[in-house]
Amino acid sequence: MLAAFLADAKSTIKARTNRDETGATAVEYGIMVALIAVVIIAAVTLLGGGLISTFESAECAIKGGEYTAAEEAGTDPVADPATPSSCSV
C-alpha cells in the first residue's frame, strides 16, 4: 500500500514538473509587447510637441528666418493647432 502511494506520488510530481510551458512563454511575450507599446505611446505623447517645434525651428533656420514657437506667442499648439508657430523670413 505504501509502495503504491509512493509510486503514485512520484508519478504525480514527475508529471507536474514536466508540464508544457509554451503557453506561459506566449503570455510572457504578450506582456512584453504590451509594455513596449505603452512605452512607445508615452514617448511619442511626451516628446511629440517638442519634436515638432525642433523641426519647425530647423526649417526656419534653413530658410534664414527667425522662429517663434507657439508657446512663446501665447498659444497652445496642442489645444489650438490652427495657430501654429511662425517663421519670419
- In sequence order, which residues have a C-beta less than 8 Å from that of residue 77 and are 6 or more positions away? 49, 52, 53, 70, 71, 83, 84, 85
Q: Residue 70 falls within a domain, yes or no?
A: yes
| Average pLDDT of the residues in 25-45 | 93
Question: 50 lies in which domain range?
Answer: 27-88
Q: Residue 68 falls within a domain, yes or no?
A: yes
Residue 31: pLDDT band by 50, 70, 90 thresholds? very high
Q: Residue 84 falls within a domain, yes or no?
A: yes
Domain tally, the chain: 1
| Average pLDDT of the residues in 11-39 | 83
- Tell whether the model's pLDDT for residue 80 goes beyond 70: no
DSSP single-letter state for residue 69: -
Q: Residue 82 falls within a domain, yes or no?
A: yes
Q: Residue 41 falls within a domain, yes or no?
A: yes
Q: Residue 16 falls within a domain, yes or no?
A: no
Q: Residue 72 falls within a domain, yes or no?
A: yes
Report how far residue 16's alpha carbon sits from residue 55's, in angstroms, rounded to the nearest whole number: 58
Put simply, whether the predicted model's pTM sits higher than 0.75 gets the answer no
Q: Residue 67 falls within a domain, yes or no?
A: yes
Secondary structure E strands in 17-73? 66-68
- Tell whether the model's pLDDT for residue 16 goes beyond 80: no
